[in-house]
Amino acid sequence: MARDPESAQAAAGLGRAPDLTTADLVFAIDQPSPAPRRDVLLNVSGLLWHENPHVSAEGYRRVVRETLDLLRAEGREVSLLAHVLDTPNPDNDVPAIRALADEVEGDVEVIVPEDLDSVRATIAGANALIGSRMHACLNALSVGVPAVPLAYSRKFAPLLHSVGWTTGFDLRTDDLETLPQKVVVATEALDPAEAEAAAAKGRASLDAVLDLLRSSPRVTS
């Protein structure tokens, strides 16, 4: 099975066409009970905050700082969200969101979830999510919360488009100077109904997975 059409095409090119092309398995996770209501969650990536092979770290830091400042100037309440939790691996998001919080004027909420259940509950209680981690965006859509992805690799678009979600930007190709303002405009225009439709499409596509598994011959020892 493949989770998006481009993955299916790549697999076919390697000599094994998938039996099924469907959505990411995040859409199969049970719906959480939403946490207390928040406005905008800004997920900052530890991977991109430091030097990396994907995008300019300096440019990325500028984009998220300016996006945060512009959102708050518009009267939006913004909370910083770690999606990859604290570990010795520098790829994690926690140092990045704390560094950003230290740089901005005034208090800003920093959210470090304990596990998958708590991050999904936090996201489910938000009005919108701006995410640099693909699965932060997919988690949002899977619970019906609209997302503005900040993509850094080719994997974002096929997965998001597979559930009909086309809102988003690409840190590799978009003009980073004008990107923060575009992100704010996109955030203002988000439609919760479209996110609910994406969630429904993702869940429906995974019904076919169950049908395929039920019809497959069982292997017994």
Q: What is the pLDDT of residues 207-218, one digit of tens each?
A: 888 888 888 777
Q: Average pLDDT of the chain?
A: 94
In a domain, 210, yes or no: no
Domain count, the chain: 1
Decide if 202 contacts 24 (C-beta within 8 A). yes
Per the structure, the complete domain to which residue 76 belongs is given by 43-199
Other beta carbons within 10 Å of 66: 17
Query: Distance (Å, rounded) from C-alpha 43 to C-alpha 28?
Result: 22
- 220 in any annotated domain: no
Residue 140 covered by a domain: yes
Q: Letter for the amino acid at 215?
A: S
pLDDT in tens, 48-86: 999 999 999 999 999 999 999 999 999 999 999 999 988
pTM exceeding the 0.85 threshold for the entire prediction = yes
The DSSP string of 170-217 is ETTTS-TTTHHHHHHHHHHT--HHHHHHHHHHHHHHHHHHHHHHHHSP
Q: Is residue 10 part of a domain?
A: no
| Range with lowest mean pLDDT among 4-8, 13-17, 108-112 | 4-8
pLDDT in tens, 173-195: 999 999 999 999 999 999 999 99
Question: What's the confidence (pLDDT) of residue 220?
Answer: 61
pLDDT tens-digit series, residues 129-150 = 999 999 999 999 999 999 999 9
DSSP class per residue in 102-117: HHSSS--EEE--SSHH
Bigger pLDDT: 218 vs 11: 11
pLDDT, residue 219, reads 58
144 falls within a domain: yes
Q: Which residues contact 8 (CB under 8 A, 6 or more apart)?
A: 2, 17, 18, 21
State pLDDT tens for residues 190-201. Answer: 999 999 999 999
Q: What is the CATH number of the domain that holds 127?
A: 3.40.50.2000
Q: Is the pLDDT of residue 4 over 60?
A: yes
The answer to whether residue 158 sits within a structural domain is yes
Whole-angstrom Cα distance, residue 123 to residue 129? 7
pLDDT at 166: 96
What is the reported pLDDT for 68? 97
pLDDT score recorded for residue 141: 98
Residue 221 confidence class, pLDDT cut points 50, 70, 90: low
Residue 94 lies in a domain: yes
Q: Is residue 165 part of a domain?
A: yes
